[in-house]
Amino acid sequence: MKRLFTEHPESVGETYVEHLGMASGFGMRMILGGVACLLHGLLPFLFTKTGSRVITELHGRMVTNRNRHAPADSRQTA
C-alpha cells in the first residue's frame, strides 16, 4: 500500500510530502490562471497576458526543472 503513495514521487526525485506540495501548488496556479482566462474572456482588457504567463511558468517548473532534479534513470526525453 505504501508503494502507491511513494512510487511516482520517487520517480521524479521527490518524497510524498514534497510531491504533495508541488502538485498542490501547480493545481492552485492552474485554477487561478484559469479564472484569469475566464475573466479575460468576459472582460478582454483584464489579464491580457496572465494565461500565457502561467502556462510558461508551470512548463518551466514541471519540465525544465523537474528533469534536472529527477533521478537519472527516470528522466524522459521530451
Give the model confidence (pLDDT) of 6-35 as tens digits. 999 999 889 999 999 999 999 999 999 999
Give Cβ neighbours of residue 53 (< 8 Å, ≥ 6 apart): none
Q: What pLDDT shows up at residue 67?
A: 59
pTM of the predicted protein model = 0.73
Domain that holds residue 20: 2-70
The reply to whether 43 falls in a domain is: yes
Joined grid coordinates for residue 18: 514534497
The reply to whether 65 falls in a domain is: yes
The reply to whether 20 falls in a domain is: yes
The reply to whether 76 falls in a domain is: no
Q: What φ, ψ does residue 19 adopt, rounded to 5°?
A: -65, -40
Joined grid coordinates for residue 27: 493545481
DSSP state at residue 19? H
- CA count, 13 A, side-chain hemisphere, 65: 9
Distance CA(2)–CA(45), nearest Å, equals 49
Distance CA(38)–CA(47), nearest Å, equals 10
What pLDDT, in 10s, does the model give residues 20-75? 999 999 999 999 999 999 999 999 999 999 999 999 999 998 887 665 555 555 55
